[in-house]
Structure 1
Amino acid sequence: MIILGVILLLVGLVADISILVTLGVILALVGVVLAVLGGTGRAIGGRRHWF
């Protein structure tokens, strides 16, 4: 999810499409939050691992 967010962010910046930049930032942030919570061993949505 983090990688997809960064790709959308870069494509949005290069093509000057603001919706892609917004979606890229949101996906990257959600991916980072899930990675941090998953790394601490917290269950998220009933799952211990998101992969």
Structure 2
Amino acid sequence: MDLLTQLLLGMGAFSLIVVVGSFVGIMMVVIEDTIEEQQQARERNKRRG
């Protein structure tokens, strides 16, 4: 393998890690927001009841 191929593979792997990492981060934020909304909804229902 020459240097150019190694460089391209390294960049590809790095960009893949960045994409997956940002996707996982976004999913974590969305899941946390959903959990908070569900907890707030439960508290509202308790107050009404």
So what's the TM-score if we normalise by structure 1? 0.49
Aligned length: 28
% identity of equivalent residues: 11
- Unmatched 5+ stretches in structure 1: 1-14, 43-51
Give the root-mean-square deviation of aligned CA atoms.
1.9
- Unmatched 5+ stretches in structure 2: 1-5, 36-49
Identify the structure with the greater helix proportion: 2
So what's the TM-score if we normalise by structure 2? 0.50
Find runs of 4+ consecutive structure 1 residues off by over 6 angstroms: none
Structure with bigger gyration radius: 2
- Structure with more contact order per residue of length (Cα contacts < 8 Å, sep ≥ 6): 1
